[in-house]
């Protein structure tokens, strides 16, 4: 077992060290370049880039309403493309949690302009639902990549916000970011993947 680990350690270290400097070609839609950056440990995100490799916005988000779910396929850990998800809470803020060592928070919506892949999904909210108030109740939870009481990853954070409103967006499947696009409770508003 030890020999197998040592055999894979050098390539993994190269991935970790060089991950923030990869320039991996065209976006999925073929419009523009993509640069991969290291988020934490062995987790990476893709961002739009210009011809010189500088990170640039892919779009300018507008017309979001509180409760809109933002999903990107532009996040992966090693070879598992899990994506990332957040909920627009209003006032230019998105409820999300970014990775190991982070806690959930209301972060600037502008960051989502840089992902080369994006879907916006809209739920039908219960009457009187206050998304910003619900989101504030979920701020400060520590990240953990798998289900663990008192901890969240981006998918469980989004799922929990809507569960608190009496909605189960993913009743029969794993709570993973990219699974939200298959929810019967959500309407696709925008997609570029």
The torsion angles phi and psi of 71, rounded to 5 degrees, stand at -125, 135
- Between 112 and 39, name the one with better pLDDT: 112
Q: What is the pLDDT of residues 65-76, one digit of tens each?
A: 999 999 999 999
Q: What is the pLDDT of residues 96-120, one digit of tens each?
A: 998 888 999 999 999 999 999 999 9
C-beta separation of 74 from 27 below 8 A: no
- Whole-angstrom Cα distance, residue 48 to residue 26? 9
Contacts of residue 122, defined as CB under 8 A and 6 or more positions apart, other chains included, come to 65, 67, 68, 69, 186, 187, 189
Q: What is the pTM of this model?
A: 0.83
Residue 62 structure tokens? 């507008």
Instruction: Please give the pLDDT value at position 8.
Output: 40
Domains in the chain, please, with CATH?
A: 58-191 (3.90.1720.10)
């Amino acid at each position: 077992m030890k020999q197998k680990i040592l055999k894979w350690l050098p390539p993994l270290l190269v991935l970790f060290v060089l991950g923030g400097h990869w320039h991996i070609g065209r976006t999925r839609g073929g419009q523009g370049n993509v640069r991969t950056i290291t988020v934490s440990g062995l987790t990476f995100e893709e961002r739009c880039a210009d011809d010189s490799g500088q990170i640039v916005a892919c779009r300018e988000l507008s017309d979001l309403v509180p409760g809109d779910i933002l999903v990107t396929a532009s996040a992966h850990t090693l070879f598992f493309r899990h994506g990332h998800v957040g909920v627009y809470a209003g006032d230019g803020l998105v409820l999300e949690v970014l990775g190991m060592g982070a806690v959930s928070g209301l972060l600037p919506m502008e960051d989502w302009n840089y992902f080369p892949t994006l879907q916006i999904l809209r739920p039908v909210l219960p009457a009187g639902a206050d998304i910003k108030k619900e989101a504030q109740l979920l701020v400060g939870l520590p990240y953990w990549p798998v289900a663990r009481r008192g901890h969240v990853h981006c998918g469980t954070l989004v799922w929990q916000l809507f569960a608190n409103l009496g909605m189960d967006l993913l009743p029969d499947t794993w709570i993973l970011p990219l699974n939200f696009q298959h929810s019967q409770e959500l309407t696709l508003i925008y997609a570029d993947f």
